[in-house]
Structure 1
Amino acid sequence: MMRSPWEWVLLASIAGGPIALRLRKASADRIVVLGWIHALCGSLYLLGCPDGSPVAAAVAAIGLLLLDLGWKAAGPAAQARLLFAARRKAVFAAVAASTVLLILPAGVEFACRGLTHAKLLRYHMPIETVWKSGQDDWRVATITADVHREPDPVLLWRPIAGKPYNAQHFKGPILQVPKPAGTFRIMCYGDSLTDGPPRGDWPARLHRLLAERPARPGQAYEVVNAGVSGYSSHQGLLRFLQDVDRYKPDLIVASYGWNDAAQAAGPSDREFRPPSWPVVALQRTMVRYRTSLVLTYYLKKLVAEPRRELEGPFHPRVSVDEYIANLDRFRAEARTRGIPIVFLTRPHLAAPDELRRVNNWRSHVPDYNGALVSWASREGLPFIDVQAEFARRPASLFSDECHFFPDGYQILAELVYGRLFEAGTQRSVLPGEEAAPPETATRPVDGRRS
């Protein structure tokens, strides 16, 4: 429940002053006044920093300590004058108002934190799928509740400019602009599988592999993680168009499909509009308070309609045709700038045939991988069938239905490294190499079709 040692110090300070007066047998009015001041300070901290702040907790705790020392140093005469002033009607009204508006809400928030920590109450998890008649749709939840994302009028959401991301909204070091001479920059676009955990995502592992075993002696490689959790190919394309002329990559790697297939409870991604900024601001504020989340959890159970099987036609965030059109725009924009691009299928734990039997939008995920393989093969574009590769590997590499444990991310990085930089296929995708024969240049990177 306490998020830092300083919060424990603050809690001890809030309770310690009145207890010390009680032990010294001070008058009841002195104990009440000092106790109210302590409670007010604690309430201001709890309501002002619901996410916790060691610095703010330290300031509040030290401030209360200085207040107690000042109260003791003031002497009986000064204390008596303060107590007399506190009995005035205006002061009494201010005390009553602050108690109702600050101390009582903070007390409820503190109680909710304690009861949920003890598992006596349950609370709504802000980033969970918002469903309507069995349709998963987490776009609004991501925009309004994900502390690592911020609303964006074009992209719908983007990573924050703070840990684990940098000021440019990527993971890793700040990219130099313009790009340093002699640097080969690889930008990896994708969804949560590319974004990965705070540490250990596959682009970072690919960067280490290229640092340890550079494909060209003396070449400096830079791998940029441009993945964003929850992104569809529609959002990824728009972010790529924002980035490409500024960061000037030498190679693009793109992997989408899982979120494209997700069932949309409202408009598709191309037509979706986020809530207005006042609504977003209010919702992003409310989800920081445990009281709000407790109320949401129990009220949701009263008003939410029971989950039903998926009804009506499949209505994805991005249709298969739009998905291929987005990838083709990726390819066209990269080609006009002379940038090679490689596409990855989106891996998942269940086999395609098994997934197709699932009675929700996940049954359509294999359609997106299949469309990518067919399109890239027909157009002679390099791709890596990651799904086919991991279908031959242990299921224990997956942490859930579509993400990896660290070993899985390492294997994916090695797979990309091997296909692009060790298997001889780099001649078809990397600039500066001798052109490959036509039959090789049009062959998929993994050399097989699924």
Structure 2
Amino acid sequence: MSVTRKLFYSLLTLSLFFLAIEGTARVLWRRLEARAFEERRERGAAVLRNDAVNYLREPSGIYGYALRPHAQAGAVYINGQGFHQRDEIPLARRPGFLRVICLGESTTFGSSVDNNYPAYLRRILESNGRGFTGYEVINAGVPGWVSDQIALRAEHELAAYKPDAVILYVGWNDFQSYNPLAAPPAVSYFEHAYGGSKWKQYAASWLKSVALLSALYHSRRPDPELSPGYTPGSGGNPPEKCYRFLLASLDQIAASFRLANPNVKIFVCTLVGRWPHGPPEEWAHIPPVWWMKQGNIGPGQAAEFVRRLNDRLRAFARSRGLPLIDLAAAFENLDRSRLLWDWAHMYEDGYELMAWNLSSAMRKAGVVQGEPSPREAELIAKYQH
């Protein structure tokens, strides 16, 4: 047998061997995935059984739970796509329309279908925007979600809408979930609450055999992000470790949208907190974050923890080359005790002022044309501290 034929048969044998391994890996992957989705759905159902507003939500094998399409309660309305708005947004792009997706938690969802910053942003774009025949703004906020769930929805649903711009007002529930006074988290809150497996983080790999081998390899190595010698107060849980799951989720969100539309503009927002504004008697009636109560943290100290998280968000945007909308700085000199009714959720004027800041940032980034409105200056003057 010639050398060429020997080489050919050797390569053929190796190829068949690899195909057999990859085929087996894909079967195993599907079984693992089906089992993980079923566990996640069951855990989501258990969470909803103890939820006072579970009539707005339903279990999900991907997210744990999701908003229930067509659910309605008072001034809250979920459309058929699971968005907090009345209008349905077609998946296919309409010529001449600007499309914006707003991602976040309850602070994006808002208090009613008309009182949330995505709704205000749409009205502002329709009245002040130029250069488009129409404006579509999707409110993809889901109360209670952490950044892992938002990243999953971006991958599985939202990226397919191929927006022109994405607003990331994300992080409040991660802020609540991870205790900066304790050791760095070993697993994300989402994985802890709804189940998860190391192999899932390699799902982006086309070769499932490689994905499973990578998961096996990394499962046997200590996590370099964790500090084994950590003691409270030692400085071993800085923001980049405390919020590492949030930062990883933001990367995943950006990657999902860019894969669908390489020209998308992704805006990272800092978070607006009320702390420390307001008299002590008001704070006595506002439930604190669990780890603040545990650590006897007051409003002044709480504001410092929010500042640290916002500094990480600023650094993240800068390192990734993403435009930053520094809402925390925009609200810094305003009376936030009159703009927010607790430490994160806003009254109507607060959400409207947020939307004006978002539209200004989009205009400066060249996403949309238009002129400043005296309404924004009016709101700033009204709440100047």
Q: Which residue of 2 aligns with 1:325?
A: 248
State whether structure 2 residue 267 is matched by structure 1 residue 342. Answer: yes
Q: Which residue of 2 aligns with 1:393?
A: 334
One-letter code of the match for 1:326?
Answer: S
Q: Aligned partners of 1:209 and 1:159: how far apart in 2?
A: 26
1:372 CA displacement: 0.8
Q: Which residue of 1 aligns with 2:311?
A: 370
1:246 CA displacement: 3.0
SS of 2:167's equivalent in the other structure is strand
1:319 CA displacement: 3.8
Say if 2:100 and 2:166, in contact at 8 Å, map to a contact too. Answer: yes
**1:67-146, aligned counterparts within 5 Å?**
141=47, 144-145=50-51, 146=53
SS of 2:94's equivalent in the other structure is coil
Q: Which residue of 2 aligns with 1:238?
A: 152
State whether structure 2 residue 355 is matched by structure 1 residue 413. Answer: yes
One-letter code of the match for 1:426?
Answer: A
One-letter code of the match for 1:410?
Answer: E
Partner residue of 1:170 out of 83, 102, 120: 83
One-letter code of the match for 1:177?
Answer: L
| TM-score (normalised: structure 1) | 0.50
Q: Aligned partners of 2:144 and 2:296: how far apart in 1?
A: 18
One-letter code of the match for 1:256?
Answer: V
What RMSD, in angstroms, separates the aligned Cα atoms of the two structures?
3.5
Relative to structure 1, is the Cα distance of residues 431 and 410 closer, same or farther in structure 2, using a 3 angstrom cutoff?
A: closer
1:269 CA displacement: 2.8
1:273 CA displacement: 4.5
Say if 1:153 and 1:274, in contact at 8 Å, map to a contact too. Answer: no
Q: Aligned partners of 1:322 and 1:158: how far apart in 2?
A: 20
Partner residue of 1:208 out of 123, 138, 143: 123
Say if 2:146 and 2:190, in contact at 8 Å, map to a contact too. Answer: no
1:431 CA displacement: 9.1
SS of 1:228's equivalent in the other structure is coil
Q: Which residue of 1 aligns with 2:189?
A: 269
One-letter code of the match for 2:123?
Answer: R
Q: In the comparison of the two structures, how many residue pairs are matched?
A: 252
Q: Aligned partners of 1:208 and 1:409: how far apart in 2?
A: 12
Say if 1:188 and 1:203, in contact at 8 Å, map to a contact too. Answer: yes
Q: Aligned partners of 2:140 and 2:116: how far apart in 1?
A: 11
Q: Aligned partners of 1:365 and 1:242: how far apart in 2?
A: 30
Q: Which residue of 2 aligns with 1:156?
A: 64
1:182 CA displacement: 1.9
One-letter code of the match for 1:225?
Answer: N
Segment drifting more, 387-396 vs 184-193: 387-396
Q: Which residue of 2 aligns with 1:52?
A: none
Say if 2:45 and 2:58, in contact at 8 Å, map to a contact too. Answer: no
Relative to structure 1, is the Cα distance of residues 262 and 379 closer, same or farther in structure 2, using a 3 angstrom cutoff?
A: same
One-letter code of the match for 1:394?
Answer: D
Say if 1:204 and 1:223, in contact at 8 Å, map to a contact too. Answer: yes
Relative to structure 1, is the Cα distance of residues 360 and 151 closer, same or farther in structure 2, using a 3 angstrom cutoff?
A: farther
1:143 CA displacement: 6.4
Instruction: Give the structure with higher Rg (CA).
Output: 1
1:379 CA displacement: 3.1
1:261 CA displacement: 2.1
After superposition, what is the alpha-carbon deviation per residue over 1:291-347, rounded to whole angstroms, capped at 9, x for unaligned? xxxxxxxxxxxxxxxxxxxx979799x941221111122222323321211011121
One-letter code of the match for 1:387?
Answer: A
Segment drifting more, 405-414 vs 343-352: 343-352
SS of 1:374's equivalent in the other structure is helix
After superposition, what is the alpha-carbon deviation per residue over 1:114-138, rounded to whole angstroms, capped at 9, x for unaligned? xxxxxxxxxxxxxxxxxxxxxxxx9
1:250 CA displacement: 1.5
SS of 2:129's equivalent in the other structure is coil
SS of 1:404's equivalent in the other structure is coil
Q: Which residue of 2 aligns with 1:28?
A: none
Q: Aligned partners of 1:343 and 1:379: how far apart in 2?
A: 10
| TM-score (normalised: structure 2) | 0.58
SS of 2:251's equivalent in the other structure is helix
SS of 2:189's equivalent in the other structure is coil
Q: Aligned partners of 1:416 and 1:388: how far apart in 2?
A: 13
Relative to structure 1, is the Cα distance of residues 380 and 192 closer, same or farther in structure 2, using a 3 angstrom cutoff?
A: same
1:177 CA displacement: 2.7
Relative to structure 1, is the Cα distance of residues 269 and 207 closer, same or farther in structure 2, using a 3 angstrom cutoff?
A: same
Q: What fraction of aligned residue pairs are identical, expressed as a percent? A: 27
SS of 1:177's equivalent in the other structure is coil
Considering Cα pairs closer than 8 Å and 6+ residues apart, tell me whether 1 or 2 has the greater RCO: 2
Relative to structure 1, is the Cα distance of residues 221 and 387 closer, same or farther in structure 2, using a 3 angstrom cutoff?
A: same
State whether structure 2 residue 133 is matched by structure 1 residue 219. Answer: yes
SS of 2:150's equivalent in the other structure is helix
1:215 CA displacement: 3.0
After superposition, what is the alpha-carbon deviation per residue over 1:98-122, rounded to whole angstroms, capped at 9, x for unaligned? xxxxxxxxxxxxxxxxxxxxxxxxx
SS of 2:314's equivalent in the other structure is helix
Relative to structure 1, is the Cα distance of residues 360 and 371 closer, same or farther in structure 2, using a 3 angstrom cutoff?
A: farther
